[in-house]
């Protein structure tokens, strides 16, 4: 019936919106991971540099 078709169309639109939201969240998570790992890498580099200077006489 027409009502069922409208309900299906609304459900499909909801699914499309949810898929878009999932894609956005994946992108956001990837950006946060890159930032976090970049920060860890920078911190490790600073740690190594500090160790190098502390080991010098």
In this prediction, residue 57 carries a pLDDT of 62
Tokens of 21: 């939201």
Q: Which residue has the higher pLDDT, 53 or 23?
A: 23
Residue 56: phi and psi, rounded to 5, are -80, 140
The HSE-up count of residue 17 (CA atoms within 13 Å, CB side) is 6
Domain segments of the chain as ranges: 21-57
User: How do residues 26-35 score in pLDDT, each as one tens digit?
Assistant: 999 999 888 7
User: How do residues 16-49 score in pLDDT, each as one tens digit?
Assistant: 999 999 999 999 999 988 877 777 777 888 888 8
In this prediction, residue 5 carries a pLDDT of 98
Rounded to an integer, what distance in angstroms lies between the CA atom of residue 11 and that of residue 45?
51
């Amino acid at each position: 019936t027409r009502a069922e078709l409208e309900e299906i169309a609304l459900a499909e639109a909801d699914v499309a919106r949810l898929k878009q939201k999932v894609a956005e969240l994946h992108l956001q998570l990837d950006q946060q991971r890159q930032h976090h790992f970049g920060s860890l890498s920078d911190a490790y580099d600073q740690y190594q540099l500090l160790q190098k200077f502390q080991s010098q006489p």
